[in-house]
Amino acid sequence: MKKLCARLLNSERLHRPKTARVIAFVILTVCLGSVIVLTGCSTGPSALSGVIPAPTSGSSASGTSTSGTSGVAPQVSCAGGRVMTITQPSVYVVQAGHSPYSVLVFPKTAKGDTPPTAEIPGTLVSLDGAGNIYVLDPSGSCIVEYPALTSGTPARSLQVGPGTKVSEVKDMAVSQTGEIFVSDGKGIAVFSATANGNADPLRYILGVTQASAAITPGNIAVDNQDNLYVSNAVDSSVAVFGPTDTGTVIPARTITGKLSGSGAHFNLGMATDPSGNLYVLCVCALGEGSGTNAFITFEFGPKANGTDPPIRWVTSPAMYPWSGGPGIAVDPAGVIYITAGPPIGGAQTIFEFSPQDSGNITPVNTVTSVAIWTDTLVSHIAVQ
């Protein structure tokens, strides 16, 4: 089952050449300030023109300018396009069906077939408590922060990649106050809310189990108290680290209920809500939990540990993981947003579930963009 899931999740659709290129132009008129913005979105290379300014070398947490591990700060250019004015609140979804990847922006009020209102070059996306937007540039060389209501000027650019403090970015998360957590596949680097350029991390976490086995970081998430949740790629358990943990450390808690062992095969994404509940999107053994759909979200309480069971599980016969690169986000009201595909063909979709939904049910809302998301993939998602 695990090998089959891996083949399906990494199907040739990830590399299929685009058979069509559809460009949708959207004119947004914002009455306050009389701002008129023209943006473009496409299923091929970005239709937006212009270049994001290259980041400048910044300061470390101690205030001292730093350089790369080679002794020379790399010359980083975060090219990829302009970001147009974004009206909040919004949903941000990474479109992963073409290169370079981009983040498409939809209003939270969107329903059904809806064109995006803006596009940001990027392969990962996360938000802080103020709604500021963080994306990993398509080059993989920097994490760029944009103000919540942005017209394309970055607030800062944190350099990552070869020659910097983090050799590569596997996943990232941002705290409520703007600290940036970066997984490099070995550990988690934590950067301050003002870190810029080729800065030193505040701390670096190397997790180990009670048996002293290394934890291999997969997906990560951060809650409102700055607790860090790390999916262990070895067994899909979730290790929980405290807000000041650093160095080689055993997690304060390890959640295995319904996640580790024969009942689960892939941790596809995680999110938290304001109450500290953890939501884990995974592919489980058929018949585990839902009985009909292996693509399922488990919600765990804020103190869940060990084999503690989830508070609830949510799935739907309408969504299917094999036809998309799934992602999960939870808004402040507790609404769950999942990116996936329909069971057979069709366009990639955002599925929404209410805070009260439980079991195998129909989502309360779906959003897609047929002109853009047919024959492509979507992955990470963030929501305000």
Enumerate the domain spans of the chain.
21-58+76-383
- Mean pLDDT lowest for which of 129-138, 208-217, 316-325? 316-325
Single pTM value for the model: 0.79
pLDDT of residue 10: 37
Q: How much is the average pLDDT of 169-182?
A: 95
- Under 8 Å between Cβ of 81 and 121: yes
Banded model confidence at residue 279, pLDDT cuts 50, 70, 90? very high
Q: How much is the average pLDDT of 247-273?
A: 81
pLDDT in tens, 6-65: 333 333 333 333 333 222 222 222 232 222 222 222 333 333 322 223 333 333 333 333
Q: How much is the average pLDDT of 195-201?
A: 93
Task: Decide which of 110 and 44 is more confident.
Answer: 110
What's the CA gap between 79 and 48, in Å, rounded? Answer: 12
What's the CA gap between 228 and 203, in Å, rounded? Answer: 13
Share of the chain above pLDDT 70, in %: 67
Q: How much is the average pLDDT of 250-273?
A: 80
pLDDT of residue 23: 25
Instruction: Give the chain's length.
Output: 384
- Mean pLDDT lowest for which of 77-86, 232-241, 245-254? 77-86
What's the CA gap between 133 and 294, in Å, rounded? Answer: 32
Banded model confidence at residue 99, pLDDT cuts 50, 70, 90? low
In the numeric block, which tokens belong to residue 107? 């209003």
pLDDT of residue 331: 94
What's the CA gap between 299 and 284, in Å, rounded? Answer: 14
158 has a pLDDT exceeding 90: yes
pLDDT in tens, 61-85: 333 333 333 333 334 455 444 556 7
3 has a pLDDT exceeding 50: no
- Only one residue has tokens 């899909």, namely 236
What's the CA gap between 298 and 330, in Å, rounded? Answer: 13
Banded model confidence at residue 247, pLDDT cuts 50, 70, 90? very high
pLDDT of residue 265: 59
Q: How much is the average pLDDT of 128-145?
A: 91
As a whole number, the mean pLDDT across the chain is: 74
Which one-letter amino acid corresponds to residue 58?
A: G
Return the CATH superfamily for domain 21-58+76-383. TolB, C-terminal domain (2.120.10.30)
pLDDT of residue 11: 36
Banded model confidence at residue 184, pLDDT cuts 50, 70, 90? very high
pLDDT of residue 263: 52
Peptide bond into 243 cis (omega under 30): no
pLDDT of residue 294: 63
Task: Decide which of 49 and 118 is more confident.
Answer: 118
pLDDT in tens, 340-354: 876 666 678 889 999
